Structure 1
Amino acid sequence: MERKTLVLVACGKELYRKYLLEQIAFEYHVWLVSTEDTTWQKPLIQGAIKISDYGFEEIVAAVDNIKRDFSVHGVICWDERFIMVTADVAGHYGLPSAGKEGIRGCRDKALSRQRLSGAGLLQPKSQLCRTLAEAQAFAAAIRFPLVVKPRGMGGSIGVALVKNPQELILRFNEADAISYQGAADFQNGAVLEEYIDGPEISVDGKIIDGDYQPMFVARKRIGLEPHFEELGHTLSYNDPLLNDQNLLSVLAAAHKAIEFKNGVTHTELKITPKGFLIIEINGRLGGDLIPWLATLAMGIAPGLIAGRIACGDPVDVVVPKKNLNAAISFKYPAFDMTVDRVTLPEPDITRDAQTYCVQLAQPGDKLALPPSGYVARAAYALTVFNDSAEGDRLCQKLLEAVTVTGSPLTDLV
């Protein structure tokens, strides 16, 4: 049978997203639409069109160009910045997508809170504040601690814990400034929320015609307070939360509330004494190589699943084909630095575990910690293991053996 053509909007970095491209290329002819030149992607794609920016008209023109020679069956994106315009492009051609309302219910954190609250789901008190004065009034009404976050950024960028009025001024201004790096629709101001304590998880799920099914759960490790940088994740093929009916009902109700139609989502939640509380829903597969952990531990191909949904092709119920656990931990620099050297330990493969490290930063790279920069990772350690607790310990031990040296940053540009 002739392969269908799937258009990928943006691609991301090789070390973080190559496996997803490999998975969809296994079954589809992929055309890449990107503002960057193709390099490592070339062996995996049918062709590429370079565009000047990720505007709706630019992407539509590129797809029209592809359609002159090929029938386009789907459009997909896993870059947080461009999922909204990609959904609009898919809708323009009548292709499966989250839908205009559904994708905005993910991307717009203020709108998402409004819809989830309207559905009666457990939510923190929150408000979109355009000015510092509005933020201060909201803080006075609900008291500290609070969480400040940009309205439309992803990956915990600009998200910070605030414990007093002085910190509020600093963190609100940081979030407001960072908002201008995102989509124009979500610039200016920040979302303020009451802080809810509890362990964090993420759930990647698939939605077909509004019907939600979880695929995998990851247990998250957070650090670098007052910011919420993601330090690592652990994923188990048989996590009991996959069969927790309370969690599943919350997830199904949330996706119905935001009117998400077709696609994959990465939902972040906290486990609280009152139940599962959704932090945010992202209209894409998870980052931080979480879907790769699912591939290693469960033997599934999340990228291919996302591609099949984008093309309207049948997708089986997600059932693990492997019975393993996987963990990943990220190495951050000790201070804002220009990297001189990253040294990795030797790989360790035993009868029960496979562990390895990957270098992410090269000599000369600038790594800045929040609030100067975000996701400033020098390397990661990854473990595949039979016993998740032992695998976590081994992963952390490996990460501690990574060394990062450099000189203090004097210029963050």
Structure 2
Amino acid sequence: MSAVNQDKPLVLLLRSGDREMREYLLRPMASRYRVHMFTGVQPTWELEYLDGCTVVETRTNEETLAAALALHEKDPISGVLTWDEARVNQSAYVAEQMGLPGPGTVTALACRDKNQTRTRLAAAGVPQPASVLVESLEEARAAADQIGYPVIVKPSDLLLSMGVVRVDRAEDLAAGFATAMEVEVPGRSDYVCRPLIEEFVEGYEISVDCAVYDGEVTVLCIARKQVTPPPYCVETGHVVDAGDPLLTDAVLLRVVRDAHAALDFRNGNTHTEIMMTADGPKIIEVNGRLGGDLIPYLGLRATGVDTGLASTDVAAGRRPTPVVDRKLVSGVRFFWVAQDDTLIERVFFDEDALPPQTDMTFVLARAGQIRHTPKGIYGGRIAGVTVVAETVAECDAALDAAEAALRVNP
């Protein structure tokens, strides 16, 4: 572990994630704070950034709080945060119990449970798709008939587009309902799906990452999302443009702030997904943590705003001070195999074929794995690339060129 300055505040991080996806967040955090991590496995790449770590399961609020209190007795903790959706509730609970900044357990749960989100937003009049929680296929049919096709079927409490499917016709609802009900959640053999039937709203989808300090919502990054064609809604990439006009769109910003107020989200970090429709922005969901898929990294490369550092600041009770120091465009694209049941032998990028705008490439599949095309699940990605360009058109062209440079089982 790195040598540390004991004058730096100590923050507690619940789990980290893969190096490719999370090191860019941990590195700047360690420049301003001492970081102690709770993790279920021995850390590896994280060690150079950590002041300390505790190998402990953090699946329940109680075990996480007990470990945090033990640490706090030895070295006072200034803040608690996580980038992991599966640890959002635990992080909020520990912060609340210890009197540290955070959204609170009630608000965190309202973000985790999409039905609770819908109920709160509806009560406040925040624009969103119509949504009905159902318990059976019969109830799903009735809800879909009431809302009108096409509809979206989705689990109420999962992430990463797991089990989310668009259904265009009544005769296809049973299959879509089964997709949601039968979704497999890693490490959750006891998971039982509570599905929602939602109105399909058409437009283009964006995400907005924010830092919230004492009720003040600061937008850090806006990304435009790409997804697979219907019926599934798996995210394939994102683009962040420092000159995006949405950054100053008064209607969008008001909807974002109204959603946070409706959820009583006063301290912490959020990743809000929004469909930009002909009728204006409509909230798809509000997550109580930073965005994944390298979205905050894209924001850093495009604008210079360090979303990860701002997120740590609010967790430690400090007002965020984001600084825009560049005007670029950055994008990420993820790749899958072309056919189901593909045995991975080798995956790599042809360096000579990569465009000059290439920023970073990474391989996610290992030899010997079986991979599939994206079908309503997040898993299965085999590789990814990020690029940095001067314009959106140049960014899109560079992503296309990088995709052409990917080699699978050559």
TM-score range, shorter chain: over 0.9
State the number of aligned residues: 403
Which whole-Å CA distance do the structure 1 matches of 2:373 and 2:86 have between them? 21
**Pair 1:296-2:319 in alignment:** no
Q: Pick from 359, 363, 368: which aligns with 2:367?
A: 363
Deviations along 1:306-349, one digit per CA (max 9) or x if unpaired, are 11111102322x33112211011111111233311102021657
Contact 1:345 1:357 in 2 (8 A): no
Letter in 2 for 1:375: G
Q: Equivalents in 1 of 2:367, 2:183: separation in Å?
A: 27
- C-alpha distance in structure 2 between counterparts of 1:254 and 1:124, whole Å: 13
Partner of 2:117: 112
Shift of 1:10: 1.3
Structure 1 pair 97/185, CA: closer, same or farther in 2 (3 Å)?
A: farther
Letter of the aligned partner of 1:311 in structure 2?
A
SS of the equivalent of 2:132 reads strand
Letter in 2 for 1:333: V
Q: Deviations over 1:239-267 (max 9, x none)?
A: 11111100010000000001111111111
Q: 8 Å contact 1:102–1:261 — kept in the other structure?
A: no
Contact 2:82 2:289 in 1 (8 A): yes
Per the alignment, residue 153 of structure 1 pairs with 158
Change over 3 Å in CA distance of 1:364–1:372 after alignment to 2: farther
- Which secondary structure state, in structure 2, belongs to the residue aligned with residue 250 of structure 1? helix
Contact 1:81 1:183 in 2 (8 A): no
After superposition, the CA RMSD in angstroms is 2.1
Q: Distance in 2 between matches of 1:121 and 1:10?
A: 33
Matches within 5 A, 1:154-303: 154-178=159-183, 187-303=192-308
| Partner SS state of residue 216, structure 1 | strand
Q: Could you say what secondary structure the match of 1:41 adopts?
A: helix
Aligned to 2:84: 79
Match for residue 137 of structure 2 among 132, 137, 148: 132
What is the rounded CA distance, in whole Å, between the counterparts of 2:184 and 2:344 in structure 1?
Answer: 27
User: How much does 1:152 deviate?
Assistant: 0.5
Q: Is the Cα contact below 8 Å between 2:234 and 2:376 reproduced in 1?
A: no
Cα distance in 2 for partners of 1:179, 1:119 equals 34
SS at 2:106 equivalent: helix
The answer to whether the 8 A contact 2:268-2:288 is kept is yes
Report the AA paired with residue 376 of structure 1.
G
Is the 1:180–1:187 contact (alpha carbons within 8 Å) kept by the matching residues of 2?
no
Q: What amino acid maps onto 1:384 in structure 2?
A: V
Report the alpha carbon displacement of residue 185 of structure 1 after superposing the two structures with TM.
Answer: 11
Task: Pick one of 382, 392, 398 that aligns with 1:388.
Answer: 392
Relative to structure 1, the CA distance from residue 372 to residue 302 in structure 2 (aligned partners, 3 Å threshold; closer, same or farther) is closer
Structure 1 Cα separation of the partners of residues 376 and 233 of structure 2: 14
* C-alpha distance in 1 between matches for 2:377 and 2:272: 24
Q: Secondary structure at the match of 2:409?
A: strand
Matching of residue 377 in structure 1 with residue 381 in structure 2: yes
1:342 matched residue in structure 2: 347
Q: Which runs of 5+ in 1 are unaligned?
A: 407-413
2: CA distance, partners of 1:273 / 1:349: 35
Distance 1:187 1:299, change over 3 A: same
User: Which residue matches 1:328?
Assistant: 332
TM-score (norm 1): 0.92
Match of 1:65 among 42, 51, 70: 70
Alignment partner, residue 25 of structure 2: 20
- 2:406 corresponds, among 402, 407, 410, to 402
* 2:125 counterpart letter in structure 1: G
CA distance in 2, matches of 1:301, 1:14: 17
Q: C-alpha separation between the residues in 1 aligned to 2:256 and 2:135?
A: 30
Q: Deviations over 1:129-158 (max 9, x none)?
A: 111111011112222110011011111111
Give the superposition deviation at 1:183.
7.9
Rounded to whole Å, the distance in 2 between the matches of 1:273 and 1:305 is: 33
Matched, 1:306 2:311: yes
1:39 paired residue among 32, 40, 44: 44
Match of 1:410 in 2: none
Query: What residue in structure 2 maps to residue 409 of structure 1?
Result: none
Letter matched to residue 175 of structure 2: L
For structure 2, the residue ranges without an aligned partner over 5 or more in a row are: none
- Counterpart CA distance in 2 for 1:200 and 1:49 is 39
Counterpart CA distance in 2 for 1:129 and 1:179 is 19
Q: So what's the TM-score if we normalise by structure 2? A: 0.93
Contact 2:129 2:283 in 1 (8 A): no
2:105 is aligned with 1:100: yes
Whether the 8 Å contact between 1:136 and 1:165 is mirrored in structure 2 is: yes
3-state SS, counterpart of residue 330 of structure 1: strand
Change (3 A) 1:27 1:355: closer
The match for 1:30 is 35
Instruction: Give the percent of matched residue pairs that are identical in Structure 1 and Structure 2.
Output: 34
